[in-house]
Amino acid sequence: MSEIKELVGIAESKDPTDRDRFHLKTLVRKLKQRNETLSDENRQMGGVIDAFKSGRYNESETAKMMVSEQQMQMKEEMTILQSELEYMRRENATLKVTASKGVDLQSAMQSNNAAINEKIESSNKLVKEKEVELTQTKNRVGQLEMESAQLREEISIYKGRCTNLARDVEMHYNEMHKLNNN
């Protein structure tokens, strides 16, 4: 009776999963087999009852009935196990495909990571080279600024000398002019 309630519950669910469908098929098979078994047992029991009524009951019939009942149960269990095995094989195949995709994705990700790491290393190397160049350029600029400051000082000194010389020349010129006029 609980199987019938399960069947009704699964049938009424809005979106049964593959597992629910498989379970539903299994329950239907079990109920069909149980119905066949009960029908066979009912027929056999009818025969046993008729044999009791007529007084020709034989014990080997009971033994046959029990063996055939056990065979039916074993066949039923075998059918269920085979269907479960087939379901497991399909699920295993699906999982293998999923695992294969996962391995492919992992491999692609690792190669991407290797390429990214390589790019990062080359960028870091380039940055270090540029930093060295920048330091050297800063040092060179510092030296050039010092040389420029020295040259400006020298220019100032030479301008001062030129001013002094120009004044001296003018003074001498004026003196010579005075002497010439006298």
Q: Please tell me the pTM assigned to this model.
A: 0.37
Residue 43 within a domain = yes
Structural domain including 62 reads 2-130
- Rounded to an integer, the average pLDDT of 23-39 is 79
**Number of domains within the chain:** 1
Residue 102 within a domain = yes
Residue 172 within a domain = no
- pLDDT confidence band for 102 (50 / 70 / 90): confident
CA distances from 81 to 19, 22, 36, 85, 112 (A): 15, 12, 19, 6, 45
Residue 117 within a domain = yes
What 64-70 contacts at long range (C-beta under 8 Å, 24+ apart), as own/partner pairs, is 65/41, 68/40, 68/44, 69/37, 69/41
Residue 89 within a domain = yes
Nearest to 85 by CA among 138, 135, 26, 152: 26
- Within 10 Å of residue 148's Cβ, how many Cβ atoms? 11
Residue 167 within a domain = no
Residue 158 within a domain = no
